Amino acid sequence: SLANAQFVNEKPISELDADYLRIWSDSGPLLSSKITVRVDYGQEGRIPQITDNRRRVVSFNSMITVLNMFSKEGFELVEVVRDSKDETEVFYLKRKEGPKRESTNKEETTF
pLDDT score for 85: 84
pLDDT score for 109: 54
Please give the tally of structural domains in the chain: 1
User: Does residue 33 belong to any structural domain of this protein?
Assistant: yes
13-71 per-position pLDDT tens digit:
989 999 999 999 987 666 778 899 999 999 988 889 999 999 999 999 999 999 999 99
User: Does residue 108 belong to any structural domain of this protein?
Assistant: no
pLDDT score for 23: 96
User: Does residue 34 belong to any structural domain of this protein?
Assistant: yes
C-alpha span between 105 and 111 (Å, rounded): 19
Quick one: which of 47, 44, 42, 43 has its CA closest to 24? Answer: 47
Report pTM.
0.77
Checking if the pLDDT of 97 tops 60, the result is yes
- 88: domain range? 2-95
